[in-house]
Amino acid sequence: MSEITELPTPPAAGQALDAAVSSAPERTRRPARSVPWGSVALTLLGVVVSGVGVAALRDGNGWLQLAVVVAGLVLAYVGGGQLLRRRFGAGFDLAAWLCTTWLVLLLFAALLAPVLPLGEHQDIAGSLDAPILAAPDLLSPYPLGTNNFGLDLLSRVIHGARASLVVSLGAVLIGTVVGAALGIVSGFFRKTTDVVIGIFTNSLLAVPPLVLLIALATVLEPSLGNIALALSLLALPSVIRMARASTLTFVQREFVLAARAMGASRMRLMVRELLPNVLLPLASYGMVMISVLIVAEASLSFLGLGIQPPNPSWGNMIAEGEGNTFEEHPHIVLVPGVVLFLTVFSLNLLGEKARKRFDPRQAKL
């Protein structure tokens, strides 16, 4: 009889796992992340330089102080961006987060302006003891300086944001509601309705925007409601065309044809089926339109046709610097101008990102 060879006993599951781990090549093990000391040093350097510009140079040249603070902020932005991309991934957009933070802070400051401990922004009699044309000093009671009447520029900028945001948001809301309704009706019924609405849209586009605003401003009272109504005409043609194009895209889709086959009325088709799909790209486009209308409102106020002094607006605040020498008191123009620039830049950046995400036509680009 031949001998039977005894088979080896298989190792236990735990032993097999230990053997597999111990035999794995060293290169497959994840190395520990090293601290990016260069980015940390760059961020700290930017913070220190900005602090030096604010505190140590407060009694020196204003332009030198501004240059040092801006240089420190740029260094902190570059270093902080590298750290955050290393932590959250290469797709992290620090600029978008900073723009969002700026808009949120501006919105809350505008909403809480009546209860914030701010200086006088409107009543000249309440600023008789305030220094006139004081330069910006972040450690003083007037961090952004005062104008030629002693009014606090920080307080005027925040209260001016209330007027700009109310007017632009109101104008976009009116333009979106009316434009979406006309665009959906035009794309749904077509034929004669489409021709009539198209003529109306082209008529608005044929008039230069500034000429149209000046004409309306000379006829209407310079109130927030009338200014918002006038500015809504600038947003109306673009909203109508976008709503019409989206309606033509969705009106032949399966869910609309199925609802029509089930006996849904025209009103139900437009409100329940088409409107939700049309509003999504319009909402993302609205952020860009808000920035455009903020600039338009500032232009009207700069020309004296918008919000009238002493009520603050970014436009009439910039106009206050016309009678002063820019070399001697540049902060009167720079303070509202920089706030206007940052707000419009933030809205444009976030609006473009929203359009690329929610508008299918932009996502393909």
Identify the pLDDT of residue 33.
59
Which residues does 48 contact at the CB level (< 8 Å), separation at least 6? 72
Which residues does 317 contact at the CB level (< 8 Å), separation at least 6? 147, 153, 156, 157, 160, 332, 335, 336
Give per-10-residue mean pLDDT for the chain (365 aa): 49 49 48 68 82 65 73 85 83 88 93 88 79 79 85 91 90 92 91 91 87 82 85 90 90 86 87 86 84 90 84 88 69 88 92 72 49
Which residues does 191 contact at the CB level (< 8 Å), separation at least 6? none
Task: Give dist(CA 258, CA 271) in Å, integer.
Answer: 15
* Single-letter amino acid, residue 182: L
Identify the pLDDT of residue 220.
81
Identify the pLDDT of residue 2.
46
Identify the pLDDT of residue 66.
73
